[in-house]
Amino acid sequence: MYARAVWVEHDKEVEGSAPDNWIDVDNKTIRWPKKGEKAAFLNQHPPNDDWMTFTLVKRKITSESDDMEKEENVAGSGYPSC
Q: Give pLDDT tens digits along the chain (82 positions).
A: 999 999 999 999 999 999 999 999 999 999 999 999 999 999 999 999 999 999 999 999 888 766 654 544 443 445 565 5
Cα torsion angle, 51, 47, 70, 2, sign: negative
Q: Quote the pLDDT of residue 63.
A: 81
The model's pTM is 0.77
CA distance 3 to 18: 6
Q: Quote the pLDDT of residue 12.
A: 96
